[in-house]
Structure 1
Amino acid sequence: MALWRAYQRALAAHPWKVQVLTAGSLMGLGDIISQQLVERRGLQEHQRGRTLTMMSLGCGFVGPVVGGWYKVLDRFIPGTTKVDALKKMMLDQGGFAPCFLGCFLPLVGALNGLSAKDNWAKLQRVSWAALAHCLAFLLFTVLFLFLRLAVVQCVAVIWNSYLSWKAHRL
């Protein structure tokens, strides 16, 4: 509990920095889970560079883009009622998520050395399944609006594991 309070204080004092570092940490944790629990690579076969790449993407792309989007979303739909939260979630998952995936997946492909042609083919193959899973997460999170922050953080780790696995599959 003390750790959670310290995180909340840091978030209040330095919201942008903490959001960016949180995104990087969650992306790294998601990749570790993907490699160890989903792909079952084992510690000897763990691709540390891949984890660092995902952490870098979290800090340099995911954190700033998603953090900026949430600011826009809060200005566009002010309020904190359950209806406001539902509207925000629907816009986020129905509008922002497809655009985000359309940028994130090719970025991972480019960082992994895929040619533009291979990257496009992979995006066509992977994006629909990723979007379907994204919408499934939407349904899950709607059920727990009263625990939104905690649920979003937990779902983020699961989602980042899935994204890492999906982005690194051939």
Structure 2
Amino acid sequence: MRAFLRWYSHNLKKHQFAMNMVTTGTVFFVGDILSQQVIEKKGKEHKLERTLRSITVGSFYIAPFITYLYNFVDKVFGPSQTIPKSLKKTGVICLFSPIVSGGYVICNNMLQGKSINFTIDQLKKDLPTIVVVQYKIWIPSHFILLTVVPLRHRMFLSNFVGVLWTCYLTHASNTGTANEKSV
């Protein structure tokens, strides 16, 4: 395990975006499998294409966006991990939360070939609930990450919380927050 962490840390320094894309894709893989198997109890009816969409959106949209956002807040507020600076950084990240979740829903629907009208209706119906749940999970998580975790390790550690969040997000974006089947 120590060798893996050394390898990961070394590559994270050299290839921050690529490593975060790989780890976030892995989180979305695990999160969607948990969503389909544990929450939705699909069993053998597991939708592999949905899992692949989740990995794609997680890797190519969520990871770059969040990596850039973490880097941005550290540049604006400095690398200091004091409580006041961590609160400011958390606030800025929370301002972008609806964009991150809304973007996930949009990308997921685009990859399914769903219409823009369907996507707009889904965003109107589901995004407020998604964002409230997102704030409940991520505000305390970001505050802790920004207070005690060095910048280069934030994305990796946030991915542990991300498994639970992704499980919820993939479920909500594919079935609706009110457990109504999306057409």
Percent identity for Structure 1 against Structure 2? 23
Q: Which letter maps to 2:49? A: G
CA contact (8 A) 2:90 2:139 kept: no
4+ residue runs over 3 A deviation: 142-151
| Structure 1 CA distance for aligned equivalents of residues 18 and 138 of structure 2 | 26
Would you say 1:157 and 2:163 are equivalent positions? yes
User: Which residue in the other structure is 2:109 paired with?
Assistant: 109
TM-score (norm 2): 0.82
User: Which residue in the other structure is 1:167 paired with?
Assistant: 173
In the TM superposition, residue 153 of structure 1 has moved relative to its aligned partner by 2.4
In the TM superposition, residue 119 of structure 1 has moved relative to its aligned partner by 1.1
Post-superposition CA distance 1:80-106 (Å, at most 9, x none): 32322222112101x110122222212
Q: How many residues align?
A: 168
User: Which residue in the other structure is 2:25 paired with?
Assistant: 24
1:91-102 mapped onto 2 (5 Å cutoff): 91-93=92-94, 95-102=95-102
Q: Which letter maps to 1:146? A: V
* Structure 2 unaligned regions, length at least 5: 176-181
Post-superposition CA distance 1:29-65 (Å, at most 9, x none): 11111111111111x2111111111111122111122
Q: Secondary structure at the match of 1:114?
A: coil
1:19-168 mapped onto 2 (5 Å cutoff): 19-42=20-43, 44-83=44-83, 84-93=85-94, 95-141=95-141, 142=143, 145-146=147-148, 149=154, 152-168=158-174
TM-score (norm 1): 0.88
